[in-house]
Amino acid sequence: MALKATVFKIQLNIADTDRHYYQDHQLTVAQHPSETDERMMVRLLAFAMNASDTLAFSKGLCVDEEPELWDKSLSGEINLWIEFGQSDEKWLRKAAGRSKQVQLYAYGGRSVPIWWQQNESSLERYQNLTVWNIAEDSVKEMAQLVSRNMEIQCSISDGQVWLSNAEHNVMIEPEVLKYAVINNG
């Protein structure tokens, strides 16, 4: 018998002074049986950092052709494709070709600088790609916020992200390894 996903109900209150975005989101997040609490919270962090009315979790882990988090236009164009972990260049090339913007949230502690050193030169060509590194300590602290029904406050200011619930406060300082070069012309 196959293991089923664990479903989490999340009330996420976002106050993002960097983007002037203030909104409450009621989310239902499915955690794949192979997914850790840490990885799920990195997905939630990415949602908070890019939140909009059209940003949504997809069937990502179950569908090879979709990101796990994306923002699609009404006409079906992918405006934002978000990936997690230490993706290979082939997968990121595909994402960069199908989306206006791609963001990769890398995590994994000491393995991230090694992965970045091996991939930096090949990823530089993708002008619509931004790569973030989330520190291992922050990822572990975010996992302390996990419960089946979460109420999380998120404050974003000057590049710092604060996630908190009734018992824990976590400060995350995402490090940008590569910025996208956005052409608005």
Q: What is the residue range of 115's domain?
A: 6-178
Dist CA 69 CA 85 (whole Å) = 13
**pLDDT tens string 15-68:** 999 999 999 999 999 998 989 999 999 999 999 999 999 999 987 555 567 899
- pLDDT tens across 98-147, in order? 999 999 999 999 999 999 999 999 999 999 999 999 999 999 999 999 99
Hey, how many other C-beta atoms are within 10 angstroms of the C-beta on 125? 10
CATH code for position 173: 3.10.640.10
Number of H helices, E strands in the chain: 4, 11
Residue 65: per-residue pLDDT: 75
What's the pTM?
0.94
Q: What total of structural domains would you count in the chain?
A: 1
Burial 148-175 (b: 16+ CB within 10 A, else e): eebebebbbeeeebebbbeeeebebebe
